[in-house]
């Protein structure tokens, strides 16, 4: 497993080890000890899966109380995924990092608590998987427009 910095504190790209041959592939999509070793969560409170069609834009969502860290990946298709720092007082407040995630590249993005998250589907459809560090709390949900001029 390789962990790549994005330039935003705590937002990292994870490249799991993938073992493939003519029959297909095998990868560990999450292993507590490996993730803890890299400073990532060793447990999650909720797992979600969503499917979206080409051009669908989801986000930029965050929870201002009971914030969620998210480990995101794509099981089918291809997306462009974005994390935006919404931590007031942070040196990188308002900055964003983005990465293409796909079933082919097997990459994951870890989006820590205090960041807004969103993605756009680049393929005909995408099956998106994410583990969250806390449970969804709709009463604390907020959103930022994808085209916010300050971001």
- Is 62 a known active-site residue? no
From 35, 62, 110, 130, active-site residue: 130
Residue among 82, 131, 129, 74 nearest 105 (CA): 74
Exactly one of 35, 61, 64, 106 is catalytic; which is it?
61
**Taking the CB of residue 52, how many other CB atoms lie within 10 A of it?**
18
- Is 110 catalytic? The answer is no
Q: Which residues are catalytic?
A: 61, 130
């Amino acid at each position: 497993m390789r962990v790549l910095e994005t330039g935003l504190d705590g937002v990292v790209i994870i490249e799991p080890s993938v073992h493939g041959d003519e029959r297909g592939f095998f990868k560990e999509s999450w292993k507590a000890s490996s993730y803890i070793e890299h400073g990532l969560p060793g447990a999650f409170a909720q797992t979600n899966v969503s499917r979206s069609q080409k051009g669908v834009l989801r986000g930029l969502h965050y929870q201002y109380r009971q914030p969620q860290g998210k480990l995101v990946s794509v099981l089918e298709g291809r997306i462009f995924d974005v994390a935006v720092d919404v931590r007031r007082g942070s040196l990188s407040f308002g900055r964003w990092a983005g990465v293409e995630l796909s079933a082919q590249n097997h990459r994951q993005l870890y989006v820590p608590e205090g960041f807004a998250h969103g993605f756009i589907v680049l393929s005909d459809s995408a099956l998106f998987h994410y583990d969250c560090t806390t449970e969804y709390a709709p009463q604390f949900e907020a959103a930022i427009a994808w085209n916010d001029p300050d971001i």
